[in-house]
Structure 1
């Protein structure tokens, strides 16, 4: 299932290979992808392009002023229309710890799982 180029995902991951692989998988599925290496960079992208971004896909463990959970909280407060997908190879947040409509996918994940999560989140939000 291909998505319109209007479906924009912001991928926030400090490991270059992991970020590039996720971006490639999402682009192959038809999403437009923006990339950031940490939360601070992600916030700058959102401040400039929040009207375009529909999904934030972030790692939990990152260098910088905040981790992915704190980033998700800020995004939820400032841009509630942005769907949240959080990932980690270490942390396993309880569903209550993830802001409102957010989801968690453990690492390592395969691209098809990532695409399925985002597709399901967008479908649930938009309805049938």
Structure 2
């Protein structure tokens, strides 16, 4: 796939191994990757590089005061119609249409990112292998 504008993905995850593997998968798909291990660091990236970030993946629970839901709100200031991909321990509804993945694997997250960037919604189509683990938030 050839790179297009806004293929920069901000990955926010406090698990360094998960973050590294997801960043590798995204780079292998020709996406530019920025990574943060806390909500505070990610929030600063979103504030200062808002229009360079095309897509956001975040774990819902992060160390510190800023969680994935707050990051999603900040991201939606620049991209109100784009979903954020959020990994959570349980399913939670999102008024903005974010995609909530229940304890996903790196493969599930990377495939979800790819589907969202390519304009396909895995929850609306026949679910490919691995997508049974997520739920599209309303």
User: What band does the TM-score fall into relative to the shorter chain?
Assistant: 0.7 to 0.9
Counterparts of 1:83 and 1:13 in 2: how far apart (Å)? Answer: 17
Question: Under a length normalisation based on structure 2, what TM-score does the superposition of the two structures give?
Answer: 0.74
Cα gap change, 1:115 to 1:44, in 2 (>3 Å): same
For structure 1, the residue ranges without an aligned partner over 5 or more in a row are none
Structure 1 runs of 4+ aligned residues shifted over 6 Å read none
Deviates more, 1:55-64 or 1:98-107: 98-107
For structure 2, the residue ranges without an aligned partner over 5 or more in a row are 121-138
State the superposition RMSD in angstroms.
2.0
Question: Under a length normalisation based on structure 1, what TM-score does the superposition of the two structures give?
Answer: 0.79
Post-superposition offset of 1:13: 0.5
Between Structure 1 and Structure 2, which shows a larger proportion of helix residues?
1
Post-superposition offset of 1:22: 0.9
Structure 2 equivalent of residue 101 of structure 1: 97
Structure 2 equivalent of residue 91 of structure 1: 90
- Number of residue pairs matched by the alignment: 118
Counterparts of 2:59 and 2:92 in 1: how far apart (Å)? Answer: 12
Aligned to 2:3, the other structure's residue is in SS state coil
Q: Tell me if structure 1 keeps the 8 A contact 2:50–2:75.
A: no
Structure 2 equivalent of residue 61 of structure 1: 61
Deviates more, 1:27-36 or 1:43-52: 43-52
Q: 1:115 aligns with which of 102, 110, 115?
A: 110
